Structure 1
Amino acid sequence: MMTNLFSIFDPSTNIFNLSLNWISTFIGLLFIPYSFWIIPNRQFIFWNFILNKLHNEFKMLLGINQLHGSTFIFISLFSFILFNNFLGLFPYIFTSTSHLTISLSISLSLWLSFMFYGWINNSQHMFIHMIPQGTPSILMPFMVLIETISNIIRPGTLAVRLTANMIAGHLLLTLLSSTSNNMSFYMLFILILLQILLLILESAVAIIQAYVISILSTLYSSEVN
């Protein structure tokens, strides 16, 4: 039962037995270039408004020691995850962000970049960050251990948070839809209403998860400066 249920996330197709589902990861790129050569419309103005708000927020989180243009890394991350989360809500489109292959690759590469940059350029600051200010001397070894463990598991928590949230909603929608075979007309109407409400919730989750991942990545980046 569980194997069949989770098989909906299996990245495989019947076209020459190739895993072409991953192509859906790049579908979102098709919606971006047109805005640079078509007359700006309301969608483009609204998207620019969102990006400007994100830029100002990331700039505030990174502080005065930020590198110029570093906010665009996290804006691109937000856009990439948001497009893939939303595309997964459409029928027969593979949700690449529901796999650790994508989410862990993103979080691990960012985390390693932050760690290499921090330990090479700001090693003293990285050592100071392991011991919060005002920690008693007897607790310092334990605080270093706790901070080290919490730092190491960061990419895993980022990846699992995104993957689990995307899988949970899709599984719930699949479970509800699989019970519609033997339902009466009135129960089927209630089920469709629940499915619509869940789809709205999943749309909100898609936005929130993209925002959370980008904000946490920004905060982790600000700690190494």
Structure 2
Amino acid sequence: MMTNLFSVFDPSANFNMPLNWISSFLIIMFIMPVYWLIPSKFSSSVKLVLNKLHSEFKTLLGSTSHQGSTFIFIALFIFIIMNNFLGLFPYIFTASSHLTLTLTLAFPLWLTFMLFGWINNTNHMFAHMVPQSTPSALMPFMVLIESISNVIRPITLSVRLMANMVAGHLLMTLLGNQTAVASNIILVSLIITQILLLTLESAVAIIQSYVFAVLTTLYSSEITSH
């Protein structure tokens, strides 16, 4: 039963090829037409959201950030939110529910921030190890705690996104499996519950992509702000 339940997250496909991962590239079908279609309310809304994200990320990065540095975080937000939303459609693989994708996004960014900080702002990185007004007796423990918290950042980022996407999909799968043996009254209740869950999952898809992008921006601002 558990094997069948978690098989909805199995990235395997026919022909012995991981064709399901192609769902991550479906975003191109949605983005590319923007460049040749007539401007509409949808494109104007998207530009408004992107401008809002740009201003917020620029505020988080601070005045010392390089010009155009917010673009990578906006692109990260768009990529994750599109994968989250595509996973809500039937028969489309949810790539963001796997550590293979989430850890691939989080680890290189974290490693880049760490290398940049320790190479260019070494004193600033050492100062972050011990917060201000820390007693001398607690300094070794604070260094250990701060070091562990820095090391597990990519893991917490990737696991947070993966766990939230998996939890909702598992619940929807469990309820969907009950429709075959349910009576009419229970069937109506299940359909209403599924609609509510789908609405909740849509909100989770937006929130988790936003949280992932914001936390990555904050990790970057800690390195550059000094």
TM-score (ref. length: structure 2): 0.98
**Percentage identity across aligned positions?**
63
Question: Aligned Cα RMSD in Å?
Answer: 0.7
The reply on whether 1:119 has 2:118 as its aligned counterpart is: yes
The reply on whether 1:30 has 2:37 as its aligned counterpart is: no
Deviation at 1:181, TM superposition (A): 1.8
Residue identity opposite 2:135 in structure 1: P
Aligned to 2:4: 4
Gaps of 5+ in 1: none
Aligned to 1:171: 170
**SS of the residue 1:32 aligns to:** helix
The reply on whether 1:100 has 2:64 as its aligned counterpart is: no
Aligned to 1:198: 197
Deviation at 1:17, TM superposition (A): 2.1
Aligned to 2:153: 154
Deviation at 1:64, TM superposition (A): 0.9
Equivalent-residue separation in structure 1 for 2:73 and 2:87 (angstroms): 21
Residue identity opposite 2:102 in structure 1: S
The reply on whether 1:42 has 2:36 as its aligned counterpart is: no
Equivalent-residue separation in structure 2 for 1:4 and 1:31 (angstroms): 32
Equivalent positions of 1:53-92 (< 5 A) are: 53-92=52-91
Q: Deviations over 1:64-102 (max 9, x none)?
A: 110111100000000000000000000000000000000
Equivalent-residue separation in structure 2 for 1:42 and 1:10 (angstroms): 37
Equivalent-residue separation in structure 1 for 2:29 and 2:111 (angstroms): 29
Equivalent-residue separation in structure 2 for 1:133 and 1:64 (angstroms): 23
Equivalent-residue separation in structure 2 for 1:198 and 1:183 (angstroms): 18
Deviation at 1:167, TM superposition (A): 0.4
Residue identity opposite 2:161 in structure 1: L
Deviation at 1:166, TM superposition (A): 0.5
Equivalent-residue separation in structure 2 for 1:28 and 1:110 (angstroms): 21
Q: Deviations over 1:3-51 (max 9, x none)?
A: 221111111112x221100000000121112112211111100000000
Deviation at 1:60, TM superposition (A): 0.3
Give the aligned length: 224
Aligned to 2:137: 138
**SS of the residue 2:182 aligns to:** coil
Deviation at 1:62, TM superposition (A): 0.3
The reply on whether 1:211 has 2:210 as its aligned counterpart is: yes
Equivalent-residue separation in structure 2 for 1:54 and 1:30 (angstroms): 22
Deviation at 1:179, TM superposition (A): 1.1
Deviation at 1:175, TM superposition (A): 0.3
Deviation at 1:178, TM superposition (A): 0.7
Residue identity opposite 1:67 in structure 2: H
Equivalent-residue separation in structure 2 for 1:34 and 1:215 (angstroms): 28
Aligned to 1:13: 13
Q: Deviations over 1:112-139 (max 9, x none)?
A: 0100110010011000011111111111
